[in-house]
A and B are shown apart, each in its own frame.
Chain A
């Protein structure tokens, strides 16, 4: 179809054309970026925790002034007697629970003049059988032996401990090198890498930026001081809610002087769900914005196209009388809409990138991937064609006899 007459006609409606094109451009920019924001949130929510989430629950008990060894013994024996419990262990914290220890690490021993600062990973400490219970095993390196479970120094961790670290953290600390056997320090504490984990998310993955979500360290420690009161139980996923309920009751019975932290005593699935509730709400809101945006844009196209059709009734009648078919008229309006929307999209892509640059500088977002642009363009083209369909059909229905009427 020849587009020259359409362009000529549009030139007579420059203002209205420009307005629709601008609306499309803004819609395109917001649409691309909102979609990108949604996908980023959904990606973040899918972060692998590295542990066997569906069959785990955490129980946290505050017991001021309790003897830690006695507390652990009472709690663990109570938890292990709950029918359905497959394993119970002491662990300082779990992904999506309350964090137990972020600390800065250095790659040189203390006392060195020039110290190489590593980063601030999260330290998980687990008692015997904790690693097996939560389902983490090194893909490289060795498992922990019973001799590896040393008591804390009274303040934090054992002074010298073998650790497992995640691959992303290893790659950050020693890029391109084999991390097994490497040493690092935190204050006076010395650690040696004994194994590499694929994944072990921080308790608050993404809270310090998405890149750091997996920067965790897991080390063996004998339960007692600095490792008490936080337990993990494992059960078949179907049994887990019941086992957790019974385990809470058993724990209260076994340690009546303690206070069970109900907020933290949940299945890992529930903890994950709660951790991401803001992101879920934000993604939902963005979906709402996109829906409303598309609706408003479509309504605008419908309104203006209807006006144009009404204004051109006589011309349409003349064209029909001169032999144009209904589909010619239909195609005319659809091509016209396609041209305007394309113009808007062209402008919108530039705007989308501008908006993304602004978001990048203010909200630490990554760059908008290029493939969002064709997707955004395609959806606006489809939307435009659908919106113009009803007015265009009405135009096509104009009978040729209109040409002979005076108005």
Chain B
């Protein structure tokens, strides 16, 4: 039966090419626009650490004496709180993270020195965030403690400085100190760059900076402190620091701490630990209040920072409004198309076809239009994503249609066109056989 309907649908589509083309075009344009934005949306709002993110937490305390217990704490930590919480080793894994610009050169390479961002983190950073290595490996906890002059570099920088060869053991010059390369990362592009996310609530939706590339140079946290002291930037300060850039004892927040906690019980324990730390600091007189500590998990932290840029969300809404318009259009055209064949439907009904059969046949035809629209829409979304890749945005290089979105394109196209066909098909199946035969 389906084969027969399929054949009928094909014939019907061929009979009125203009109307068919109009419908396919309408579906295609709607699908193309919504799939483009949906792909970008999925790229930007996805989980950067699938399977792990619920175990990753971001503790916050509030050292600002001017704040009250009812305020949100700052988005980053002051050096002392961060190092205290880290040194307590109360989590399964924990990483201090800070980034700063530094002059990087490779002795023996003809690439000139450049200013790059350096990530300084403690050793757990790599296993905690599942970062893979191409050559070598990460530094150890002893390297952290010994302030070892070692570094890990990105695949990009390794390509640039060493032509992609195994550079483990080579020397890198950071500012004016030599460090030994111990590892080269495999290409790594988390989306968003989650461990750098902070301050999103002040960004007024201009958050595409969160989707930039990871730092090219990584050093142990305390080594980074030694190498680049004087060049650190604060997230914010509640007093102007005595020596700008030297932030260890400053009234500023500028360091982040990420912890991994395997289950809800451990998370609750850690929450209590953070609260008791704040209370203890208040007793010591370093904090003026202890009530506003927070610990969000990774997903909650990204939500809190509203990481998806407002432009992208706006584009998605627009695209779906557009799809709705295309859908109305298709409903109207399908109605015209089916009712124009009232005579033919009347004959079929008179010859014994049930209403259900007419209805099914109409839906098969609508589905075929959807399939054709899906193919054209898929091509249009490839064009759309090509356009996105040529936009001056930080996430441009990541905009590609993957297999699942390819499948979604066709499912969405067929589903919308069948939905659009429901009403016209119902109308067509109600055509009274006798009335139509009379006019023939």
Q: Which residue of B lies closest to A27 (CB)?
A: B325
The closest CB in chain A to the CB of B228 belongs to: A64
- Distance in angstroms from A252 CB to nearest chain B CB is 10
Contact across chains for A310 and B340 when beta carbons are under 8 A apart: yes
Q: Count the B residues whose beta carbon is within 8 Å of the partner chain — how many?
A: 57
Pairwise interchain contact A285-B315, C-beta atoms closer than 8 A: yes
Interface hit among A129-137, A142-150, A173-181, A290-298:
A290-298
Interface membership of A155, Cβ < 8 A:
yes
Binary A-proximity of B32-52 (CB < 8 A = 1, otherwise 0): 010000000000000000000
Q: Does A65 contact B (CB under 8 A)?
A: yes
Q: Are B393 and A299 in contact (CB under 8 A)?
A: no
Measured CB to CB, the closest approach of chain A to B205, in angstroms, equals 7
Query: Given A189-B240, A278-B311, A364-B205, does the pair A296, B321 have CB atoms closer than 8 Å?
Result: no
**Most chain A beta-carbon contacts within 10 A, residue among B29, B241, B325, B326:** B325
Complex Cα gap A194–B423 (Å) = 72
Contact yes or no, B329 A297, CB < 8 A: yes
Write out, one digit per residue, whether chain A residues 215-251 have a CB within 8 A of any chain B CB (1) or not (0): 0000000000010000000000000000000000000
Binds A, one of B123-131, B211-219, B330-338: B330-338
Q: Chain B's interface: helix, strand, loop or mixed, by majority?
A: helix
Q: Which residues of the other chain, B, contact A295 by a CB distance below 8 angstroms?
A: 29
A257 to B207, CA, bound (A): 35
CA distance A285 to B113 in the complex (A): 39
Interface residues of B in 101-118 (CB under 8 A from A): 101, 103, 113-115
Our pick among B325, B333, B340 for the contact of A26 (Cβ within 8 Å) is B325
- Minimum CB–CB distance for B392 against chain A, Å: 4
Beta-carbon contact of A281 and B391 below 8 Å: yes
In angstroms, Cα B315 to Cα A37, docked, is 11
CA distance in complex: A406, B357 (Å): 30
Contacts of A296 in B (CB 8 A): 25-26, 29-30, 322, 325-326, 329
Cβ contact within 8 Å between B340 and A299: no
Given contacts A292-B33, A293-B322, A300-B328, contact A16 B335 (CB under 8 A): yes
B141 within 8 A of A: no
CB distance from A68 to the nearest CB of B (A): 12
Determine which residue in B29, B315, B332 has the highest number of CB atoms from chain A within 10 A of its CB, and name it.
B332
Q: Given A64-B231, A155-B244, A307-B340, is A299 in contact with B329 using a C-beta cutoff of 8 Å? A: yes
Query: Is there contact, CB below 8 Å, between B115 and A19?
Result: no
Contact of B393 among A274, A278, A364 (CB under 8 A): A278
Whether the Cβ atoms of B115 and A30 lie closer than 8 Å is no
Contact indicator B29/A15 (Cβ below 8 Å): no
A23 part of interface (Cβ distance < 8 Å): yes
Mask, A255-282, CB within 8 Å of B = 1, is: 0000101000000000000100110011
User: A371 at the A/B interface (Cβ < 8 Å)?
Assistant: no
Q: Is the CB of A289 within 8 A of B204?
A: no
**From B114, which residue of chain A is reached at the shortest CB distance?**
A259
Q: Is A70 in contact with chain B by the CB < 8 A criterion?
A: no
Q: With both chains docked as a complex, state the minimum distance between the C-beta of B192 and any C-beta of chain A, in angstroms.
A: 16
Q: How far is the CA of A242 from the CA of B231 in the complex (A)?
A: 33
Given contacts A15-B427, A292-B33, contact A363 B205 (CB under 8 A): yes
Alpha-carbon separation in the docked complex, A249 to B30 (Å): 51
- Which residues of chain A are within 8 angstroms of B331 by Cβ–Cβ distance? 19
Complex-state Cα separation, A77 to B272, whole angstroms: 60
Q: Whole-angstrom distance between the alpha carbons of A187 and B241 in the complex?
A: 10
CB of A257 to closest CB in B, whole Å: 9
Contact, CB under 8 Å: B19 / A303: yes
| In the complex, residue of chain A having the shortest beta-carbon distance to the beta carbon of B112 | A259
Residue B1 CB within 8 A of the other chain:
no
Contact of A307 (CB < 8 Å), options: B25, B115, B314, B336:
B336
B402 at the A interface (CB under 8 A):
no
List which B312-363 residues lie within 8 A (CB) of chain A: 313-315, 318-319, 321-322, 324-326, 328-329, 331-333, 335-337, 339-340
Among candidates B333, B337, B439, residue contacting A300 with C-beta atoms closer than 8 Å: B333
- Chain A residues 295 to 322 lying within 8 A of chain B, measured CB to CB, are 295-297, 299-300, 302-304, 306-308, 310-311
Which B residues are CB-close (under 8 A) to A62? 101, 103, 115
Residue of B nearest to A285 (CB): B315
Q: Enumerate B5-21 residues with CB–CB distance to A below 8 Å.
A: 18-19
Q: What is the bound-complex CA distance between A300 and B391, given in angstroms?
A: 31
Q: Is the CB–CB distance between A261 and B240 below 8 Å?
A: no
Tell me which residues from 223 to 266 in chain B have a Cβ below 8 Å from any Cβ of chain A.
231, 239-244
Interface flag for B203 (CB, 8 Å): yes
Contact bitstring A64-96, B, C-beta under 8 A = 1, else 0: 110000000000000000000000000000000
Assuming A259-B115, A282-B311, A364-B205, is B329 touching A30 (CB within 8 A)?
A: no
In the bound complex, what is the Cα–Cα distance between A154 and B244 (angstroms)? 9
What are the residues of chain B within 8 A of A226 when measuring CB–CB? 244
Known contacts A30-B325, A292-B33; A207 and B340 CB within 8 A of each other: no
Q: Establish whether residues B29 and A292, one from each chain, have CB atoms under 8 Å apart when the complex forms.
A: yes
Instruction: Known contacts A22-B328, A155-B243, A278-B393; decide if A30 and B208 are in contact (CB<8 Å).
Output: no
Given contacts A302-B22, A363-B310, A363-B314, 5 further A-B contacts (CB under 8 A): A64-B176, A187-B239, A207-B204, A289-B318, A311-B340
A-B contacts, 10 listed (Cβ < 8 Å): A15-B423, A155-B240, A155-B242, A208-B202, A261-B115, A274-B392, A278-B311, A300-B332, A306-B19, A306-B336
Which residues does B use to contact A, with CB under 8 Å? 18-19, 22-23, 25-26, 29-30, 33, 101, 103, 113-115, 175-176, 202-206, 208, 231, 239-244, 310-311, 313-315, 318-319, 321-322, 324-326, 328-329, 331-333, 335-337, 339-340, 391-393, 423, 427, 439
Top 3 nearest A-B pairs (CB, nearest first) are A307-B336, A300-B329, A23-B328
Which A positions have Cβ atoms within 8 angstroms of B?
Answer: 15-16, 19-20, 22-23, 26-27, 29-30, 34, 37, 62, 64-65, 103, 154-156, 186-189, 207-209, 226, 259, 261, 274, 277-278, 281-282, 285-286, 289, 292-293, 295-297, 299-300, 302-304, 306-308, 310-311, 355, 359, 362-364, 407
